[in-house]
Structure 1
Amino acid sequence: MVSTRRGPQPAAKAPRQRASRMTSDKRTREILAVARDVFVTHGFHATAVTEIASRLGVAEGTVFKYFPTKRELLNRVIEHWYGELFGDYTKDLSMIRGARNRFRYLVWRHLKTIREWPGMCRLIFSDVRSQPGYSRSPLHRMNLKYTGLFLDVVREGIGSGEFRDDVPLELLRDLVYGGIEHHAWGFLYRNTTLDAERSADQITDLVCTGIELRRPLEPSLTDADLCALADRLERVAATLRKA
Structure 2
Amino acid sequence: MEKTPAVPIRRPPASAKSEQRIRDILHMARQVFSEAGFQAATTTEIAQRLGVSEATIFTYFGGKRELCVRVISDWYDEIIGKVEDSLPHVQGARAQLHYLVHTHLRHLLAEGPGLCAFILSEGRARNDDFGDIYAGLQRRYTAPLMRILAQGQADGDIRRDMPLRLLRSSVYGPMEHVLWDAILRGTRVDVAATADQLVGFLWQALQPPRQDTLALARFRGEVRDALHRLQASDVSDESANKDGGTY
1:206 Cα offset (Å): 1.9
Identity of aligned residues (%): 38
2:221 aligned partner: none
CA distance in 2, matches of 1:119, 1:188: 8
Deviation at 1:93, TM superposition (A): 0.6
C-alpha RMSD of matched pairs (Å): 2.5
Q: Measure how far apart 1:214 and its partner are.
A: 6.3
Question: Is the CA contact 1:167–1:211 (under 8 Å) kept in the aligned structure 2?
Answer: no
- For residue 24 of structure 1, report the CA deviation from its aligned partner: 3.1
* Structure 1 residue 159 displacement after superposition: 2.5
1:191 aligned partner: 186
Q: How does 1:64-75 map to 2 (within 5 A)?
A: 64-75=58-69
For residues 64 and 139 of structure 1, the distance between their equivalents in structure 2, rounded to whole angstroms, comes to 22
The SS at the match of 1:157 is helix
Preserved contact between residue 126 and residue 134 of structure 2 (Cα < 8 Å): no
Residues 19-51 of structure 1 deviation map (CA, whole Å, 9 limit, x = unaligned)? x96543332222111111121122222222122
Greater Rg, structure 1 or structure 2?
Answer: 1
CA shift digits 1:62-119 (9 cap, x unpaired): 1011111111111111111111111011111121101110011111111222322422
Residue of 11, 19, 24 corresponding to 1:25: 19
AA partner of residue 194 (structure 2)? S
Does 2:122 match 1:119?
Answer: no
Q: Is the 8 A contact 1:107 1:200 kept in 2?
A: yes
Q: Which residue of 2 aligns with 1:200?
A: 195
Q: Which moved more, 1:140-149 or 1:79-88?
A: 140-149
Q: Is the 8 A contact 2:28 2:49 kept in 1?
A: yes
Which residues of structure 2 form unaligned runs of 5+? Answer: 1-13, 213-247
Distance in 2, Cα, partners of 1:154 & 1:60: 47
Cα drift, residue 203 of structure 1? 1.9
Contact 1:100/1:157 (<8 A) preserved: no
Partner of 1:173: 168
1:96 to 84, 87, 90: 90
Classify the secondary structure of the residue corresponding to 1:162: coil
Residue 72 of structure 2 corresponds to 78
User: In structure 2, how many angstroms separate the alpha carbons of the residues matched to 1:213 and 1:130?
Assistant: 32
The one-letter code sitting in structure 2 at the alignment partner of 1:112 is R
Structure number with higher helix proportion: 2
Give the alignment partner of residue 51 of structure 2, picking from 42, 46, 57.
Answer: 57
Deviations 1:141-190 (A, max 9, x none): 10121012111111122223322333421111112111111122221122
- Name the CA distance, whole Å, in 2 between partners of 1:197 and 1:76: 30
Q: 2:101 aligns with which of 83, 107, 125?
A: 107
Specify whether residues 32 and 134 from structure 1 end up closer, same or farther in structure 2 by C-alpha distance, changes over 3 A only: same
Letter of the structure 2 residue corresponding to residue 139 of structure 1: Y
* Aligned mates of 1:85, 1:49 — CA distance in 2: 26
